[in-house]
Amino acid sequence: MNDYILSRDGLMNRVVATLCFCALLTNWTGSSAQPALGIPSQRVARLEIFYPEFSPYPASRKALDVVTVDGKETQFVAKDTRLFQYDGQQRLISYKLKQIAQTDEGQEYGGDTLRNRYSYNNGRMTEVEGGTQRTYEYPLDDTQHRVLTHTKTGYSYINVDTLRKYSTEGILTEITTQGSRQVITVAEGNVTKIEQYNVASGKLEKVTNFDYDNAHYAPPAQVTFLGEASRNALNKQTILDYSFAEGVRTYTFSYRNQYDNQGRMNQQLEYTEDPTLNQGKAFVSQLRKYYY
């Protein structure tokens, strides 16, 4: 759930932890599958995230991938490629982003120009931001693996991320962001609930609940300095948003996961149920491919 700061969140801002895909889905598994062979010992080296075609863009773009799900084809026309490198202590030291946008006729952006570099020394992490080449420093926790704050100030903005707390497993349990405070419940190595409160009023704004496939493990965290990922593979997350005058609004994200012969997740298909989109019916919103 720790990569949300570096990610395109898709249709909503959500914390989730947050994937070569086959047209035939004979290997997709659910919670009834046999237990995985073991916890992945390797970090993710490359993550590819594919986005489907949405209006108002014309249906003329060449598909980057096509997936058949429940007898229907879904074309993916935009793509993020995220490349990760780690040091001997399995801490992130390089993050490179390459993007192919839906509106740009397949042109790729990023690469070395969008590469962030990280180093760890004397209780602090130094980040050199790709593109701007701005340098930031953050205090580390006692393990020297995770930051206690990740607030960033740009030319015309400030991204508040502070007062971080972690569980004994290294999973984030509390954080204060711009105007909000999140309290995160961790049980048996998994994030089970996130409660988001307004800092000024103390009012509860959102509640996110998570459901897992306890027979399989999730990919290890990629952005390691923001905390470890939940242990098990995510099946579903449900967001209850209390910020609307007409009452609570519910968003549901469901996942169909695939694993390699070592028990590691290598593909994940995301479905979204949003009351404001597609008449509230579930639709494929994202495809992730993991490489170790």
Structure confidence by residue, pLDDT tens digits, 240-290: 999 999 999 999 999 999 999 999 999 999 999 999 999 999 999 999 999
- CA atoms within a 13 Å half-sphere pointing along the CA-CB vector of 181: 13
Rounded CA separation 82/96 (Å): 6
The sign of the CA dihedral 167, 173, 174, 178 is positive
Question: Per-residue pLDDT for 95 more than 70?
Answer: yes
Question: Per-residue pLDDT for 30 more than 60?
Answer: no
**Domains held by the chain: number:** 1
Domain of 30: which CATH number?
2.40.160.190
Query: What integer pLDDT is reported at residue 105 of this predicted model?
Result: 59
Question: Per-residue pLDDT for 33 more than 70?
Answer: no
* Residue 272: partners with Cβ closer than 8 Å, 6 or more residues away: 10, 11, 251, 252, 253, 282, 283, 285
Most distant pair of Cα atoms in the chain: their distance: 55
Question: Per-residue pLDDT for 228 more than 90?
Answer: yes
Q: What is the mean pLDDT of residues 166-176?
A: 97
Question: Per-residue pLDDT for 34 more than 60?
Answer: no
b/e string for 250-270 if b means 16 or more Cβ within 10 A? ebbbbbbbbbbeebbbbbbbb
pTM passes above 0.95: no
Query: What integer pLDDT is reported at residue 7 of this predicted model?
Result: 38
Query: What integer pLDDT is reported at residue 58 of this predicted model?
Result: 52
Question: Per-residue pLDDT for 31 more than 80?
Answer: no
What pLDDT, in 10s, does the model give residues 146-157?
Answer: 999 999 988 788
User: Could you tell me which residue, 104 or 225, shows the higher pLDDT?
Assistant: 225
Please give the helix or strand (H or E) that residue 235 lies within, else none: strand 232-241
Residues constituting the chain: 292
C-alpha dist (Å) from residue 14 to 10, 11, 30, 83, 207: 9, 9, 23, 22, 11
What pLDDT, in 10s, does the model give residues 43-89?
Answer: 999 999 999 876 544 555 678 888 887 788 888 988 999 999 999 99
Question: Per-residue pLDDT for 37 more than 50?
Answer: no
Query: What integer pLDDT is reported at residue 89 of this predicted model?
Result: 95
Nearest to 178 by CA among 188, 163, 167: 163
Rounded CA separation 172/209 (Å): 15
Distance, first Cα to last Cα, the chain: 18
Whether the CB-CB separation of 292 and 40 falls below 8 Å is answered with yes
Give residue 159's domain range: 4-291
Nearest to 215 by CA among 64, 83, 29: 29
Query: What integer pLDDT is reported at residue 276 of this predicted model?
Result: 92
List, in sequence order, every residue forming a beta bridge with 208; answer none if it has no partner: 194, 239
Query: What integer pLDDT is reported at residue 259 of this predicted model?
Result: 97
Question: Per-residue pLDDT for 16 more than 60?
Answer: no
What pLDDT, in 10s, does the model give residues 174-214?
Answer: 999 999 999 999 999 999 999 999 999 999 999 999 999 99
